[in-house]
Chain A
Amino acid sequence: MCVLDAGDAAFTVEFGDAIDPDLLAAVNALDVGIARLQAEGGLPGVIETMPTFRSLTVFFDPLQTGREILLEALRPLFAASGHSGGDNGRLWHLPVCYEGIFAPDLAETARSLGVSEDEVVALHSGSEYLVYMLGFLPGFPFMGDLPKALRLPRRPEPRLRVPPGSVAIATGLTAIYPWESPGGWHLLGRCPVSLFDAGRESPSLLAAGDHVRFVPVSMAEYERIERSLKAGEIEPQHWLTSPRAEDAEVLR
């Protein structure tokens, strides 16, 4: 573990340099510890924290506190960060249509991996992924790990416009683009469930530590889901199969 400077108003506590569930557990343990201290009023001047694959960045107001004061206050948490809490992430089963215009890179991906398109779909939808972190775009989940047979680098030429909902893979990870944006990942399908809604109490559907499985659906089923979501007949929570305790309360 080491502490890296990130200017005069933030620092990053780094646990390692790989994408690894154990590192994520250490990150989350520190994050939970800081949240608890904050709730107790113990960390005045801390604005927010940003957990990532392998590190936690602490943002603070240098007019209210300072790097040395905070590091001193966090020292007991660093000592304990090897012992992560249990896995309390939720499990989502999200629908994905791997067909037609929704899957512009499926054929090429299959070719470069030397497998059939059906196998790519079976492999991608056959694993459960851990949401390592959210970032890059609001609600954008970095999920892993892909089966070894699906690992390939980013596209040599990034697209200028990736459509929202695109389900993509690159560098051992998979993700869903919540927004239209430029992007260099390989697009295998489209998910009709909105990942981000500022009107929700938790604007991001997914949280770091959640687990996701993709369920292949036909084009017709995709359109039916899209219509029902738009009409408000189903909620995104519909695809939450294993809620955390507090969410279970809400669903009952």
Chain B
Amino acid sequence: MNSPAALEIVSPGAYASVQDIGRRGFRRIGVPWAGVLDPRLMRIANALVGNAGTTPVIECFDGGLQVVARGAAVRVAVAGDAVIEIECKGERKALPAWRSVTLADGEILRIRRMGSGRIAVLALEGLALPQVMGSASTYARAGLGGVDGRALVAGVRLPAQAASGGERILAQAPVVDERPIRVVGGPQAEHFSAEAFETFLGSDYRVTAEADRMGVRLEGPVLGHLGATEIVSDATVPGSIQVPGKGQPIVLLADAQTAGGYPKIATVIGSDIPRLAARRPGQTLRFAAVSAAEGERIARETEAQTLALLAAICPFAAEGVDEAALYSANLVSGVVHALSPEYRPLTAVDD
């Protein structure tokens, strides 16, 4: 099929990369999973454009991503609490996230900023990229996946299919969950005193500027070790909380090294890794302990919630009041005319 449609990166913003569910089966040779930090966003964005849930998407941090349709109309959708605008021939229109939109050839979509959180996911209808070791996820350190194994840069073109079908919308955006980040104690909890573990659970930890796809360095009350501050290196998992000698925890994420020599006081459960990764530098967070069994129960509960969200995706109403758009627009800035399914020019710049 001759498909000239493409989505070109005008600007990657703070950091943008192609990700899918990740690269499984190679941790034993030192290759992390990579993959989206928030799989739910990937599944929703893909569903909005009619892709299979695990189709590769663009994951971006802190807004600033700008893309333009080339060659034909392409359909995209942004999942995440993002403030979006579309630019066509110099005219700017605001658009809520959580819906698909067809960009005509030359139309620009821009993530102006994030509401809450720092991660947004953009799905592109029909995005097809070669898999490397079973995944299209970018792991830049080893040049794997994505486009040329690197993070996205201006000028990169992602091949798409020409837009098809009607637009879809997620009826109601997911509720922002501000509860503590849940962890399972261990695998090296015994390297810390009971007091240190209480401090870990009872204190605010601040996200430092060193927070990316590899991990999040936190700052807060020192967690003292009992004895040695290093262990014989063993496996890390996504969510591992290492505590080096200085006593400040580091939470490992999708791109982190597969083995490490610092004791791990606890592990963030899979359901809460997206919420942790979404915390911005300067924000604080707290941890709460759950058992491994409770973590498994929460995983099933989270999956049920995700399936409910996916089931609530419906055709976008082209007529009448769009309550979902009204709802999200009011959350964002209050300057969007949401009475129309069409987006109006911004009347004020709010950031």
Contact = CB atoms under 8 A, between A and B. Distances in A.
Interface of A: 4-12, 14, 17-19, 47-55, 57, 59, 62-63, 66-68, 133-140, 142, 178-179, 181, 196, 198, 203-204, 207-208
B314 interface: no
9 contacts: A4-B186, A5-B185, A5-B267, A47-B24, A50-B235, A136-B260, A138-B26, A196-B29, A204-B30
Nearest to B31: A138
A8 B270 contact: yes
A19 B186 CA distance: 21
B175 interface: no
A12 B270 contact: no
B25 to A, nearest CB: 5
B55 interface: no
A160 to B, nearest CB: 14
A36 to B, nearest CB: 16
Contacts of A59: 27, 237
Contacts of A11: 187, 292
Given A52-B259, A53-B232, A137-B257, A7 B30 contact: no
Contact of B133 (A9, A178, A181, A198): A198
Interface in B241-255: none
A12 B234 CA distance: 9
Given A5-B292, A62-B270, A63-B300, A203 B188 contact: no
B231 interface: yes
A62 B237 contact: no
Interface in B145-204: 183-188
A142 B270 CA distance: 29
Interface in B1-52: 24-31
Interface residues of B, number: 46
Contacts of B24: 47-48
A131 to B, nearest CB: 11
Interface in B217-252: 231-235, 237, 239-240
Contacts of B267: 5-8, 10
A6 B187 contact: yes
B269 interface: yes
Interface of B: 24-31, 132-133, 141-144, 183-188, 231-235, 237, 239-240, 257-260, 264, 267-271, 292-293, 295-296, 298-300, 303
A82 B163 CA distance: 60
Q: Which of A50, A136, A140, A181 has the most CB of B within 10 A?
A: A50
A119 B231 CA distance: 30
Nearest to A208: B28
Given A18-B232, A66-B296, A8 B30 contact: no
Contacts of A208: 28
Contacts of B257: 135-137
B232 A67 contact: no
* Residue from the set A9, A59, A139 with the largest chain B CB neighbour count within 10 Å: A9
A247 B269 CA distance: 40
Contacts of B259: 50, 52, 133, 135-136
A8 B27 contact: no
A51 B27 CA distance: 9
Contacts of A17: 231-232
Contacts of B269: 7-9
Contacts of A134: 28-30
A183 to B, nearest CB: 12
B302 to A, nearest CB: 9
Contact of A203 (B27, B31, B270, B292): B31
Contacts of A196: 29, 142
Contact of A55 (B29, B186, B235, B264): B235
B258 A135 contact: yes
B270 A6 contact: no
Nearest to B300: A63
Given A8-B270, A137-B142, A55 B234 contact: yes
Given A8-B292, A179-B142, A138 B298 contact: no
A53 B234 contact: yes
Nearest to A180: B141
A57 B28 CA distance: 10
Nearest to A47: B24
A135 B31 CA distance: 7
B124 to A, nearest CB: 24
A140 B29 CA distance: 7
Nearest to A51: B28
A6 B259 CA distance: 13
Given A7-B292, A63-B300, A52 B27 contact: no
A226 to B, nearest CB: 19
A6 B240 contact: yes
Given A6-B267, A62-B296, A136-B258, A19 B232 contact: yes
Contacts of B142: 137-138, 178-179, 196, 198
Nearest to A54: B232
B29 A52 contact: no
Contact of A5 (B25, B143, B186): B186
A57 B259 CA distance: 11
Contacts of B268: 7
A140 B298 CA distance: 35
